[in-house]
Amino acid sequence: MNKKRSYHLVIGSGTYFDGVVNDVLQKKTTKSFMDLVKESDANRNAHSCKKIEAQNVIVKNNHYHGIVEAAHDRLGPLIEELTSEDATIMVHNPPKVLMDYINEKNERSLINLTIHREKYSIEKNSKMFSYRISKIEELIIGQSEAIQEISKSLWYLTNTNRTNPYVIMLYGNSSLGKTELVREVAKHFYDGKVLEKHLSMFKNPIYSDYFFGESPNRRSLGYDLLERESNLIFFDELDKCPEHFYSAFYTLFDNAMFKDATYDVDVSGIVIVLTSNYHTKSEMMKQLGLPIFYRIDKFIHFKDFDSDTIHSLVVKEIHERRDDYCKKYTEEQMYALISPNISVVGENARTIKYKIQEEIENIMFEDVSGINSKSLI
């Protein structure tokens, strides 16, 4: 009977991969693919004829980054050169070139192939839905309309099995709670797990490698999507992202399969939340362009804080910072100190935190500077 290599392709996060490895190999002695490559290089440099035939091999997704770009086309043959004929090979999120090689071997019945895919879902316990939304409302102050709108989307996603991505845009001025809302949704509906990318960081054209996966030995969007631990994807500040990267989003927003130059990724059922500082839909349509605008399923506006919301946020922040000043002042006294510096309009979470921080620093500095305290009358 001919010996065959047994390939286990594991599609999912690093945690999922480790779990499958433990289940399949049952604590057997394993070899890292990168260690085998280094050992092979050392043998070649020493002109040694010693043959490497590993029995249980782990090929992690970050190992592909340790291989020079020119060698990626022969990843499959390289793995076979370093393993025995009946080896068990655990492969994590293979790039296209390796996936094609393994599939071709399998079609010719030259290997045994098992594919393990991580499953993702939104929390679907409808009886707990209202409770989860109420917990979000406790933390996101002054945005009841926005919370109501995202609640409708979450209820829809909880009660359907959507295949294509669902794209939500949160828009409005900065520091009104958009990012905090996404993180609370992750906490209550996705077990606290979210793939988060800050698009304001991708200013330079060299980041095209990240969006389009043109360099197989570098991290890319496709790589990160394969590594995700949930189906919640958060792209912060889309308005700060250069326009020449938008074409990567066309495919991601439209299809259940995301493809770049290196990876094919199943993104069935993902929820993509975008944020921006646009003020209106018409401004968004003009700045983003119609191809992106019409690929967004829902737009949720975050309104500027009114005076009641500003007051609530000031009281909340003073309460949360009480350990910093409680030896000298009560919360009521702190409010009396700070309130003259807070406007009734135009404030946001960041400006409120800044002004309270400044006052706390002034109070603490009084102890060493001999500065007289402000009157609390």
Per-residue model confidence as pLDDT tens digits over 85-128: 999 999 999 999 999 999 999 999 999 999 999 999 898 888 89
Rounded to two decimals, the pTM is: 0.87
Higher per-residue pLDDT: 187 or 215 = 187
375 in any annotated domain: no
Domain range for 326: 307-369
Q: Regarding predicted confidence, which is higher, 215 or 40?
A: 40
Q: Which pLDDT belongs to residue 206? A: 67
The whole-angstrom separation of Cα 96 and Cα 79 is 15
Q: How confident is the model at residue 51 (pLDDT cuts 50, 70, 90)?
A: confident
pLDDT given for residue 90 in this prediction: 96
For position 41, which CATH number holds?
A: 3.40.50
Q: Examine residue 253 and state whether it is found in any structural domain, yes or no.
A: yes
Residue 332 sits in the same domain as residue 286: no
Does residue 110 share a domain with residue 193? no
Instruction: For the chain, give the percent of residues with pLDDT over 70.
Output: 95
Same domain, 319 and 280: no
What CATH number does residue 277 fall under?
3.40.50.300
Predicted pLDDT at 369: 59
In a domain? residue 189: yes
Which of 279, 301, 323 is where one domain is finished? 301
pLDDT value at residue 148: 96
Tell me if 374 is assigned to some domain: no
Please check whether residues 326 and 236 belong to one and the same domain: no
- Helix, coil or strand: residue 207: helix
Among 245, 269, 301, the domain boundary falls at 301
Nearest to 22 by CA among 84, 90, 82, 79: 90
- Quick check: is 139 in a domain? yes
Whether residue 283 is predicted with pLDDT greater than 50 in this model: the reply is: yes
Same domain, 41 and 160: no
Residue 251 has pLDDT above 60, yes or no: yes
Per the domain annotation, does 218 fall within a domain? yes
Q: If you average pLDDT over residues 285-304, what whole number do you get? A: 94
Specify whether 160 is located in the same domain as 130: yes
Of 1-5, 180-184, 278-282, 323-327, least confident by mean pLDDT is: 1-5
Cβ(123)–Cβ(132) below 8 Å: yes
- Whether 193 maps to a domain, the answer reads yes
Q: What confidence score (pLDDT) does residue 190 get? A: 95
Average pLDDT rounded to a whole number, residues 49-61: 88
Domains: count for the chain: 3
User: Does residue 167 carry a pLDDT above 80?
Assistant: yes
Are 260 and 333 part of one and the same domain?
Answer: no
68 within 8 A of 235, measured Cβ to Cβ: no
Mark whether 356 and 278 lie in a shared domain. no
Higher pLDDT, 51 or 133: 133
Does position 377 have pLDDT exceeding 50, yes or no?
A: no
User: For residue 375, what pLDDT is reported?
Assistant: 47
Among candidate residues 98, 117, 136, the one where a domain is terminated: 117
Judge if 287 and 179 occupy the same domain.
Answer: yes
Confidence of residue 65 (pLDDT cuts 50, 70, 90): confident
Nearest to 7 by CA among 151, 82, 115, 81: 115
The model's confidence at residue 71, banded by pLDDT at 50, 70 and 90, is confident
44 & 161 share domain: no
Task: Report the mean per-residue pLDDT for the chain.
Answer: 89
In-domain check, residue 82 = yes
